[in-house]
Amino acid sequence: MTHVNIVRMAWSAVVSALVVALLSLAPFVGAITLTGALVPLFAYTAWRGAWLPSGMGLLLCAAAFIGSPLPRDDVPDLLLAMAAMWGVAGSILLLWRMLRPRRS
């Protein structure tokens, strides 16, 4: 993946993080769980060199997490739900890699 594509992916994720940050202010929307998917994406894009959009996205995710009306007693359950989401995604990715036909 080229650097231009990494930067485009990072900026589009910043736009989605802005939407998540705005939606997480509502008490009835579970958008806060989407930060669990966006934070590793921002870490990857920062690792590949897109520092500015990754930093902005991480700040938006932190603002969404801090500004949400989620009771602080529910934070361990939220983190467990995020870990379960990543476990399911990792299992699907592993199955996809195992069942994909090999190149010769």
Q: What is the mean pLDDT of residues 74-79?
A: 75
Q: How many helices (H) and strands (E) does the chain have?
A: 4, 0
Which residues form the domain of 20? 3-99
Does residue 49 lie within any of the structural domains?
yes
40, part of any domain: yes
Classify residue 12: in a domain, yes or no: yes
Looking at the domain assignment, is residue 51 inside a domain? yes
**pLDDT of residue 6 exceeding 80:** yes
Q: Where are the beta strands (DSSP E) in the chain?
A: none
Q: What's the pLDDT tens digit per position in 8-35?
A: 888 898 998 888 888 888 877 777 778 8
Looking at the predicted structure, is the pLDDT value of residue 75 above 80? no
Q: Is 104 a domain residue? A: no
Q: Are 21 and 64 in contact (CB under 8 A)?
A: yes
- What are the residue ranges of helices labelled H in 2-74? 3-23, 35-47, 51-67
56-73: pLDDT as tens digits: 988 888 888 788 877 777
Domain tally, the chain: 1
Do the domain assignments include residue 80? yes
